[in-house]
């Protein structure tokens, strides 16, 4: 792999860069207030107005995602009962492979500066979640590929758009219904869809967005033709979560059926 981010930096070096990077945004209290308001209103915030990471580091994340897909991609084609039997049709790379073969993604995920910045927006104390759900790479490439309607087991998810079709008519559009609740025994997805406005968001390569994933019902519109939509999914918990256990039915189902491929093509 040709590594764009070639500097031999350790975790301390990266953390110093991220601390400096996010400090500039957090000094703008009016800007932070606007982001907090949008996030709490919509359950969604797209960081379109600035580079979410220093350029070299963001390029390194993108490069690492492509490398991990080429090495570890697994094809998934399952339905998930706890989300009303919605489909997951995609290639993905799971957390253990990313942690083993990746370098930048695990370091950035654990960054205190990143958690502090996102926590300021969420008005919460953000902490790492269950290890297996911390990060995941997915690729949609065949007609009908989708990440069907669902909620997250944890409240905070950030999606990094690595590749995406420029034309929304091809599919891959995010759709959301915020301020909803996930009853895993009776998800009532169609009731929520029919009785609420659906917000639709088209993303392009390089976008990064923040989602209140445990209360925002969301899915990715199935792609309509051969194309490429690749994302890095990173997930965090709240330090104030009082649940004794967190069930992970969707992860268990998705990981329970696999057919390994040499390449995600």
CATH code where residue 222 lies: 2.60.120.620
CB 116 within 8 A of CB 22: yes
User: Is 250 a domain residue?
Assistant: yes
Number of domains the chain is built from = 1
Evaluate if pTM is beyond 0.85: yes
State the pLDDT at residue 152: 93
Measured between alpha carbons, how far is 165 from 158 in angstroms, rounded to an integer? 19
CB 77 within 8 A of CB 256: no
User: Is 168 a domain residue?
Assistant: yes
DSSP string for 201-234? E---TT-EEEEETTT-EEEEPPP-SS--EEEEEE
User: Is 3 a domain residue?
Assistant: no
Measured between alpha carbons, how far is 232 from 160 in angstroms, rounded to an integer? 5
Largest CA-CA distance found in the chain, in angstroms, rounded = 52
Query: For residue 54, what are its two tokens?
Result: 């220093």
Can you name the residues that pair with 236 across neighbouring β-strands?
Answer: 128, 156
Residue 88 phi, psi (nearest 5): -125, 110
State the pLDDT at residue 264: 36
What pLDDT tens digit does each residue of the chain (265 aa) get?
444 444 445 778 899 999 999 998 999 999 999 999 999 999 999 998 668 899 999 999 999 999 999 999 999 998 888 888 898 999 999 999 999 999 999 999 999 999 999 999 999 999 999 988 999 999 999 999 999 999 999 999 999 999 999 999 999 999 999 999 999 899 999 999 999 999 999 999 999 999 999 999 999 999 999 999 999 999 999 999 865 555 555 555 555 433 333 333 3
Query: For residue 184, what are its two tokens?
Result: 């895993």
Nearby residues of 12 by Cβ (< 8 Å), 6 or more positions away: none
Measured between alpha carbons, how far is 235 from 249 in angstroms, rounded to an integer? 16
User: Is 1 a domain residue?
Assistant: no
Measured between alpha carbons, how far is 15 from 52 in angstroms, rounded to an integer? 14
Residue 78: enclosing H or E segment and its boundaries?
strand 74-80
Query: For residue 251, what are its two tokens?
Result: 């992860």
Query: For residue 248, what are its two tokens?
Result: 């992970």
Select from 174, 265, 175 the least CA-distant residue to 228. Answer: 265
Measured between alpha carbons, how far is 238 from 125 in angstroms, rounded to an integer? 6
State the pLDDT at residue 169: 97
State the pLDDT at residue 178: 98
User: Is 78 a domain residue?
Assistant: yes
User: Is 4 a domain residue?
Assistant: no
User: Is 164 a domain residue?
Assistant: yes
Domain that residue 186 falls in = 11-260
State the pLDDT at residue 85: 87
Can you name the residues that pair with 91 across neighbouring β-strands?
Answer: 75, 139
- 145, 161, 170, 228 from 225: Cα distances, Å: 9, 19, 7, 9
User: Is 2 a domain residue?
Assistant: no
């Amino acid at each position: 792999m040709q590594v764009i981010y070639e500097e031999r930096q350790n975790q301390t070096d990266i953390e110093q860069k991220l601390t400096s990077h996010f400090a500039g945004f957090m000094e703008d209290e009016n800007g932070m207030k606007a982001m907090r308001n949008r996030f709490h209103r919509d359950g969604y915030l797209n960081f379109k107005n600035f580079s979410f990471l220093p350029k070299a580091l963001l390029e390194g994340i993108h490069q690492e995602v492509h490398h991990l897909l080429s090495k570890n991609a697994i094809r998934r084609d399952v339905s998930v009962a706890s989300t009303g039997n919605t489909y997951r049709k995609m290639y993905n790379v799971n957390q253990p492979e990313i942690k083993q073969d990746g370098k930048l993604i695990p370091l950035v995920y654990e960054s205190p500066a990143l958690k502090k910045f996102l926590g300021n927006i969420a008005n919460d104390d953000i902490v790492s979640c269950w290890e297996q759900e911390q990060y995941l790479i997915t690729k949609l490439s065949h007609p009908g590929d989708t990440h069907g309607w669902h909620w997250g087991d944890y409240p905070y998810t950030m999606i990094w758009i690595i590749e995406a079709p420029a034309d929304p008519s091809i599919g891959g559009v995010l759709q959301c219904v915020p301020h909803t609740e996930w009853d895993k025994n009776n998800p009532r997805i169609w009731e929520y869809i029919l009785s609420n406005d659906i917000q639709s968001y088209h993303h392009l390569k390089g976008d990064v967005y923040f989602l209140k994933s445990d209360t925002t019902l969301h899915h990715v519109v199935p792609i309509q033709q051969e194309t490429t939509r690749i994302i890095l999914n990173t997930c965090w918990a709240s330090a104030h979560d009082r649940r004794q256990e967190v069930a992970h039915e969707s992860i268990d189902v998705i990981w329970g059926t696999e057919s390994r491929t040499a390449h995600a093509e």
